[in-house]
Amino acid sequence: MTERSILITGCSSGIGLCVAKGLTERGWRVFATARRPEDVIRLQDDGLEALQLDVADSESIHTAVAIILGRTGGKLDALFNNAGYGQPGAVEDLTREAMRAQFETNLFGALELTNLLIPVMRKQGHGRILFNSSILGFAAMPMRGAYNASKFAMEGLVDTLRLELRGTGIYPSLIEPGPIRSKFRPNAYLAYQQYLQPHIQRKADPIHQAIYQTLEARLTKEGAVVPFTLGPEAVLKAAIHALESKRPKARYPVTTPTKVFAILKRILPQRLQDWAQVKAGS
C-alpha cells in the first residue's frame, strides 16, 4: 500500500498529539504541527515529523504547507484542522479583540489552510479533510459565546464545503467531541485572563462577577469536571474511520453528551432545549 500522508494542526497535546501518534502507528506519514517552537522540538524528540504552524498567522500557514508539499512531491492525502481553544465569557463582556482572536484560531486559519490544500487534492483526485468541531458546534451553552459562535460557523462552513465537493473524491467530515481529557481548560483560563479579566475589571458593576468566580474555579480545577469525560483516544477512533473508510460520515459525535444532545436537538421544543443546555453548561 502506498504511504498515506496527513497534516495535523494543534499537536502540542491532547487530541492532536493522540491522533498524530495513533496514525503514525497505523503507517501514516504524519506532519504534526504546533504553534510554539519548543513544542515542535518536543514532538520531534518523540519521533514525530513535526514543524511549526500557527493557524492565526497566514505566513506561517503558507510556509508550513510549502515545506510539507516539498517533502511529499506535491501531494497530501488528508488534513485534520484540530487547532483551537475556548474563549470563556458572557456575550455582553466579549470585546471585538477577543472575538477576532477566537475566530482567527478556530475558523479563519482552518479555512485558509483548507483552501490551500483543496487544489492539491483536486489534482490528485482524492482527499479527506477533518475539522475538529464540538458539541458546542450545535448546542450553545452559556458563558461560551465566542467558542459557540466559532464552532457553529465551522459547522455551516463545512456543510457548505461538503456540498461543493461532491463528486471530487474529497470528503470533509466534522468531528464533534464532548468533554475530552486535554489542556482545554488551562488554555481557556489563559484566554480568560488575557481578554476577559482586564475588560471586566474596568467595569464599575460587573453583572456576572459571581458567575466568573465559579468559572475561574472550574477552569483551574485539576482533573475532569464534567461527567462522561473520555480520553483523546475516543477522537482517534472517529478520525480513523473518517480517514480510512470508503464512506466517511459527515459528522462524528464523540462522547455520550454529544450523542444525547444531537438527539435532543431533533426532538425537543426550543424552550426545553434551552433548559437542558443551561443545566449542562452550569
Candidate list 85, 147, 189, 195, residue with the active-site label: 147
Residue 141: all three cell numbers together: 451553552
Q: Is 147 a catalytic residue?
A: yes
State how far the Cα of 121 lies from the Cα of 178, in Å rounded to an integer. Answer: 30
User: Which residues carry out catalysis?
Assistant: 147
